[in-house]
Amino acid sequence: MQIILQPILVQESKDNISILENLLAEEFNSSVSTASPIKEMPFQLFDKQREQWKSNKILQWLLINYRPNKATTKILAICELDAYSDEINFVFGEAYVDGSISAIYLPRLRQEFYGLKADSSLFHLRVVKEAVHELGHAFGLSHCNNQMCVMHFSNSLHDTGIKQKSLCDKCKTRILPVNDNNI
């Protein structure tokens, strides 16, 4: 299985992306690479009234433009965008369950978004948790009842903070046989 990280309007350092590549490769037993950044997004994916991006439209746009084979490739968009989905006021990330496309949205993972002092290590930990969570969905996992599992639903940053950055043993057993068959 191949995971492609697709930065969208992101100014993250290559070192941070490289660290994320390594962590995701280990967690999902997959090859991970980073695509060239997307520097512009179609404006019709932006909701002017809400001043937020439409996450489900971003996922559709990625699927149409990149057409990954879900049996061999997963794309994780890393977006410097504030997004929402359907009736949810904001999302940290979203994915097609058992699909090939997922996305995480960085602004609300930063302390500064809430008027707090920047904390780069906390931000990077949140990014890892959200990346693993959304890719978990792309690999077919649903939300986990274990509050410590990265697949537990996060309704707030407090929920994200409680979780570990990896899959629980139960979720790992659900995903690893899929990966073993694709190696």
- pLDDT (0 to 100) of residue 182: 41
> 27, 94, 130, 134: which one is catalytic?
134
Active site includes 40?
no
CA distances from 4 to 37, 75, 121, 183 (A): 12, 5, 23, 16
Q: What structural domains does the chain harbor?
A: 2-178 (3.40.390.10)
Q: Which residues in the chain come in under a pLDDT of 50? A: 177-183
- pLDDT (0 to 100) of residue 64: 92
Distance CA 37, CA 50 (A): 25
pTM of this prediction exceeds 0.85: yes
- The string of pLDDT tens digits covering residues 113-123 is 999 999 999 99
Cα 114 to its chain centre, rounded Å, is 21
- pLDDT (0 to 100) of residue 178: 47
**Side-chain half-sphere of 61: how many Cα atoms within 13 Å?**
18
Q: Which residues pair with 53 in a beta bridge?
A: 46, 83
